[in-house]
């Protein structure tokens, strides 16, 4: 029997709490051995989706299969092949790092010898050897998260769910975490990662599914998503208002956006060589002086903004 | 290395998972030094205070007040001790760790079993400490070996039943603070409106009806009879009936509310 290409298939997931419809028909597929990022603002339904996919939560409609096992009916079979790293570090505070790893390994039904050996391997890999015999009360947030990720890998499950693994981490710990996640990916695991950081999805994931309000609003590779908001842009900034005004007149319909405060105009460019040169020639011919210019690639932030109608910044201050 | 799970029967895993969780909860108890000190000193404090305060005022059959009091203090300590199961369950539920356990291929009940069983260990320590302290301040039991064995069996069953009952409260309560007062308003009247500290025949009539027909009184009377040879009557039988009934209802109910709370 040929193996299905998709390790995770969710179709039309629905979940509501009373009148509050949290998931409104989410569908997604994760190809075996790849990483999919579920990207969305707070309250989009990311954690709910992960909790359903990892058998923790009942759902009202739709189907989920993990490596062919039905999540609703074959929970035990699913739990044997998944690893989950939740938002709050799901580790035992009173136990040491090593005890946590061994205990979870045994609960994955590894033999005690295997659990011990894996624990030592992971402590090394996650740079926790020195802290291995200390209770978790003494761990920093970053160390806890690393241990949490290590725990979900103890039985080398082929499918791993990472629910906002870097939320709340400082930049250095985040980059260390990305390194660990990348190594996990290289080991061949199928990974579903949720994040509200566009950069994270961009850096790590093969495929991105953007959700908002319990619905999928876009999906594709980072490159594909970026191309939906257009090509590169040329931004030219001026020293004074008269140059800024004259430039707008000279460039006419080429101007895509203008920013009166920064005295900046943005032009859409299709052919970098031709369009940039002609824009500069127009300014030179009209004897307009500019202070700086730069070329921008569209970011996932632009995608997010154009899809959800709000930037990440808005959401954080909301 | 790529670790492969071992293959065993479902029952084997149910037992081994529970043992792992018992070990976890027991480690919590040992490392929680504040609570552990309480386990040692609270019963001694009650024993000494009650003997000193009421010993002169309360006349009891069968000799000194300490002989009468011992069974009451033991059962009271078991009852209050069982509330730590509720607190431990509620504390786990507040943290992400329950999600982690539930995402593992482990047996569902093991988490609750771990707390309940380790609770029995802690209660045993309390009871032993209390009996030793009692012997020092004048407690003189006349129990035979079979009486002691019956005592151990009865105490284990009673603690098991109460702890499963408390596990339900730990699951349904909305917060750890909620657990503390909820368990208090259940356990306090049950232990004080009982034969633990005074003879129920001295109580006002309405209270007497309650006091003489509730499980703590039956349990206290049975334990007292085993320890100092007061008449057993039907107390032992009723203790067994209460404990087994509570256990039969509370265990599946705890599993049910736990599943319901965590998967919705």
Same domain, A180 and A281: no
Predicted local distance difference test score (pLDDT) of residue B62? 59
Structural domain including A255 reads 231-297
Which of B3, B103, B105 is closest, CB to CB, to A114? Answer: B3
Predicted local distance difference test score (pLDDT) of residue B174? 87
Asked if the structure places residue A187 within a domain, the reply is yes
Structure confidence at residue A2 as a pLDDT band (50, 70, 90)? low
Res A309 pLDDT > 70: no
The 10s digit of each residue's pLDDT in A42-88 is 888 999 999 999 999 999 999 999 999 999 999 889 998 999 987 77
Asked if the structure places residue A311 within a domain, the reply is no
| Domain count for chain A | 2
Structure confidence at residue A134 as a pLDDT band (50, 70, 90)? very high
- B103·A151 Cβ contact <8 A: no
Same domain, A125 and A256: no
SS3 A128: coil
B201 vs A209 pLDDT, higher one:
A209
Predicted local distance difference test score (pLDDT) of residue A90? 83
How far apart are alpha carbons A305 and A300 in whole angstroms? 8
The 10s digit of each residue's pLDDT in B75-131 is 999 998 899 999 999 998 888 788 889 888 887 789 999 999 998 988 898 899 899
Q: Is B22 exposed, middle or buried (0-12, 13-18, 19+ CB in 10 A)?
A: buried
B5 vs A95 pLDDT, higher one:
A95
Average the pLDDT over B24-36 and give the result: 88
What backbone torsions phi and psi does residue B174 show, to the nearest 5 degrees? -85, -20
Res A314 pLDDT > 70: no
Average the pLDDT over B228-236 and give the result: 88
Res A190 pLDDT > 80: yes
Give CA separation, A211 vs A25, A57, A304, A308, B100, in Å.
11, 19, 10, 9, 25
How far apart are alpha carbons B35 and B32 in whole angstroms? 6
CATH number, domain with residue A275: 3.30.70.920
Q: For residue B116, give how far its alpha carbon lies from the nearest alpha carbon of chain A (Å).
A: 18
- B4·A103 Cβ contact <8 A: no
Same domain, A180 and A268: no
- B263·A117 Cβ contact <8 A: no
Contacts of A86 in chain B (CB under 8 A): 96, 99-100
CATH number, domain with residue A210: 3.40.50.300
| Mean pLDDT, chain B, integer | 88
- B96·A88 Cβ contact <8 A: yes
Closest CA to A115 of A153, A77, A169: A153
- A89·B96 Cβ contact <8 A: yes
User: What is the torsional sign of CA A295, A298, A300, A305?
Assistant: positive
State the virtual CA torsion across A145, A146, A147, A148 in degrees, nearest 10: 50
User: Can you read off the two tokens belonging to residue B207?
Assistant: 């209270």
- A92·B263 Cβ contact <8 A: no
A299 vs A191 pLDDT, higher one:
A191
Asked if the structure places residue A167 within a domain, the reply is yes
DSSP for A173-208?
A: HHHHHHHHHHHHHHTT-EEEEEES-HHHHHHH-SEE
Chain A interface residues (partner B, CB cutoff 8 A): 51, 54-58, 76, 79-80, 82-84, 86-95, 99, 103-111, 114-115, 117-118, 121, 135, 151, 154-156
Comparing alpha-carbon positions, the chain B residue that sits nearest to A117 is B1
Which of A80, A90, A92 is closest, CB to CB, to B105? Answer: A80
Rg (CA), chain A: 24
Same domain, A95 and A158: yes
Same domain, A109 and A207: yes
Asked if the structure places residue A306 within a domain, the reply is no
Same domain, A122 and A190: yes
Q: Which of A227, A247, A278 is the last residue of a domain?
A: A227
Q: What percent of chain B has pLDDT over 90?
A: 42
Q: What percent of chain B has pLDDT over 70?
A: 97
The interface predicted TM-score (ipTM) is 0.84
Predicted local distance difference test score (pLDDT) of residue A315? 43
The 10s digit of each residue's pLDDT in B128-161 is 989 999 999 888 998 899 999 999 999 999 999 9
Predicted local distance difference test score (pLDDT) of residue A8? 95
- A118·B104 Cβ contact <8 A: no
A16 vs A230 pLDDT, higher one:
A16
DSSP for B194-214?
A: STTTS-GGGS-HHHHHHHHTS
Whether the pTM exceeds 0.90: the reply is: no
Predicted local distance difference test score (pLDDT) of residue A312? 44
Which of A79, A95, A117 is closest, CB to CB, to B104? Answer: A79
Predicted local distance difference test score (pLDDT) of residue A316? 42
Same domain, A288 and A185: no
Same domain, A104 and A146: yes
Asked if the structure places residue A28 within a domain, the reply is yes
Comparing alpha-carbon positions, the chain B residue that sits nearest to A102 is B20
- A114·B4 Cβ contact <8 A: yes
Question: Count of CB atoms within 10 A of residue A237's CB?
Answer: 16
A309 vs B97 pLDDT, higher one:
B97
How far apart are alpha carbons B143 and B224 in whole angstroms? 10
Asked if the structure places residue A248 within a domain, the reply is yes
Same domain, A169 and A238: no
Same domain, A141 and A281: no
Asked if the structure places residue A217 within a domain, the reply is yes
Contacts of B29 in chain A (CB under 8 A): none
Same domain, A80 and A150: yes
Same domain, A240 and A158: no
């Amino acid at each position: 029997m040929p193996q299905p290409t998709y390790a995770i298939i969710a179709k039309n997931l629905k979940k509501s709490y009373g009148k509050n419809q949290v998931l409104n028909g989410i569908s997604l597929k994760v190809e075996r051995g790849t990483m999919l990022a579920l990207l969305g603002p707070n309250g989009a339904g990311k954690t709910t989706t992960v909790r359903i996919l990892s058998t923790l939560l009942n759902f009202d409609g739709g189907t989920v299969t993990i490596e062919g096992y039905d999540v609703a009916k074959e929970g035990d079979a699913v739990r044997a092949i998944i690893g989950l790293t939740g938002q709050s570090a799901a580790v035992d505070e009173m136990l040491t790092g090593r005890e946590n790893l061994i205990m979870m390994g045994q609960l994955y039904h590894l033999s005690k010898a295997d659990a011990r050996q894996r624990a030592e391997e992971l402590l090394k890999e996650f740079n926790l050897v020195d802290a291995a015999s200390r209770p978790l009360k003494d761990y920093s947030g970053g160390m806890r998260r690393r241990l949490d990720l290590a725990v979900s890998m103890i039985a080398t499950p082929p499918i791993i769910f990472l629910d906002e693994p870097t939320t709340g981490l400082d930049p250095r710990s985040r980059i260390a975490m990305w390194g660990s996640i990348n190594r996990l990916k290289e080991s061949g695991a199928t990974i579903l990662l949720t994040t509200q950081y566009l950069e994270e999805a961009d850096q790590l994931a093969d495929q991105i599914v953007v959700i908002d309000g319990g619905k999928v609003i876009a999906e594709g590779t980072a490159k594909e998503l970026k191309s939906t908001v257009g090509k590169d842009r040329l931004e030219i900034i001026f020293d004074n208002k008269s140059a800024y005004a004259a430039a707008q007149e000279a460039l006419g319909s080429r101007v895509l956006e203008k920013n009166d405060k920064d005295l900046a105009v943005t032009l859409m460019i299709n052919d970098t060589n031709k369009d940039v040169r002609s824009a500069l020639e127009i300014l030179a011919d009209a004897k307009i002086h500019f202070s700086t210019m730069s070329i921008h690639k569209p970011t996932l932030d632009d995608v997010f903004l154009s899809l959800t109608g709000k930037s990440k910044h808005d959401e954080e201050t909301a | 290395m790529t670790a492969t799970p071992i293959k065993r029967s479902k029952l084997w895993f149910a037992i081994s998972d529970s043992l792992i969780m018992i070990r976890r909860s027991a480690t919590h108890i040992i490392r929680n030094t504040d609570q552990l000190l309480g386990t040692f000193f609270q019963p001694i404090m009650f024993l000494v205070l009650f003997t000193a305060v009421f010993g002169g005022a309360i006349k009891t059959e069968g000799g000194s007040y300490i002989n009468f009091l011992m069974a009451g203090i033991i059962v009271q300590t078991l009852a209050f001790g069982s509330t730590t199961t509720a607190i431990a369950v509620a504390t786990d539920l507040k943290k992400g760790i329950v999600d982690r356990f539930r995402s593992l291929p482990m047996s569902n009940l093991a988490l609750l079993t771990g707390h309940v069983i380790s609770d029995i260990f802690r209660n045993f320590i309390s009871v032993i400490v209390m009996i030793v302290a009692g012997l020092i301040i004048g407690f003189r039991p006349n129990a035979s070996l079979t009486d002691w064995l019956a005592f151990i069996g009865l105490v284990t069953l009673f603690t098991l039943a109460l702890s499963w009952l408390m596990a339900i409260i730990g699951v349904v309560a909305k917060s750890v603070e909620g657990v503390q007062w909820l368990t208090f308003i259940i356990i306090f009247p049950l232990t004080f409106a009982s034969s633990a500290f005074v003879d129920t025949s001295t109580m006002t009539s309405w209270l007497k009806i309650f006091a003489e027909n509730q499980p703590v009184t039956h349990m206290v009377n049975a334990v007292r009879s085993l320890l100092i040879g007061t008449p057993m009557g039907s107390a032992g039988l009723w203790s067994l009936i209460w404990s087994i009934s509570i256990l039969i209802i509370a265990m599946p109910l705890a599993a049910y509310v736990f599943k319901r709370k965590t998967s919705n």
